[in-house]
């Protein structure tokens, strides 16, 4: 076999391997989207969003996302959330509106899925019920790096606990 033929076969093999890897990534992403309700809702509605793992977060947000019980948050407010979803969403959106303008993106931390979404407030408002249901029994947090503020909600049906906390994250000494 001459060198030209060998190089051609090697190039074809490399192209096939790259295409197989690309199709595998697409397939795994589609499966993941089907498993996470908020991603399915966003994809089905054609909404603009960006998603990453925790590594996309800088320092203190990354640490908090891994374990909010350990990482320091200086609380500014701590209140119960209304049981009615419309009233609950209004409270959450009002708190976010104190920090963000209509077109500004909010970063949403879904701890259970180890997922970070970036959404505008308009998209967030349309999908807040799904986000809240997605995060049952865990924290759902809203941030806007590089700002250090955080708005976090926690809901546990079994404990009849539904709360919202606002504050700032503290760097470890």
Give the model's pLDDT for residue 172: 61
Instruction: Please state, for a pLDDT cut of 90, what percent of the chain lies above it.
Output: 19
Phi, psi of 31 (to 5 degrees): -65, -45
Give the model's pLDDT for residue 54: 72
Q: Pick out the chain residues at pLDDT < 70.
A: 1, 158, 171-173
> How does pLDDT run across 1-28, given as a tens digit for each residue?
699 889 999 999 999 999 999 998 888 8
- Give the DSSP H or E segment for 70: none
Give me 134's structure tokens. 């997605």
Give me 15's structure tokens. 């192209």
Give the model's pLDDT for residue 173: 53
Look at the block and give the residue holding tokens 């970063």.
Answer: 107
Look at the block and give the residue holding tokens 């999908």.
Answer: 127
């Amino acid at each position: 076999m001459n060198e030209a033929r060998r190089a051609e076969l090697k190039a074809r093999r490399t192209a096939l391997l790259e295409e197989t890897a690309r199709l595998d990534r697409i397939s795994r992403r589609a499966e993941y989207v089907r498993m996470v309700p908020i991603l399915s809702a966003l994809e089905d509605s054609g909404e603009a969003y960006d998603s990453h793992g925790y590594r996309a977060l800088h320092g203190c947000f990354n640490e908090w996302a891994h374990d909010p019980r350990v990482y320091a948050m200086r609380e500014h407010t701590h209140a119960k959330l209304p049981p009615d979803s419309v009233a609950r969403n209004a409270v959450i959106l009002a708190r976010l509106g104190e920090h963000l303008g209509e077109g500004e993106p909010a970063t949403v931390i879904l701890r259970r899925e180890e997922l970070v979404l970036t959404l505008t407030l308009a998209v967030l408002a349309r999908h807040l019920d799904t986000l809240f249901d997605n995060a049952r029994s865990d924290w759902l947090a809203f941030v806007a790096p590089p700002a250090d503020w955080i708005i976090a909600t926690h809901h546990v049906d079994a404990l009849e606990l539904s709360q919202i906390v606002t504050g700032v994250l503290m760097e470890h000494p």
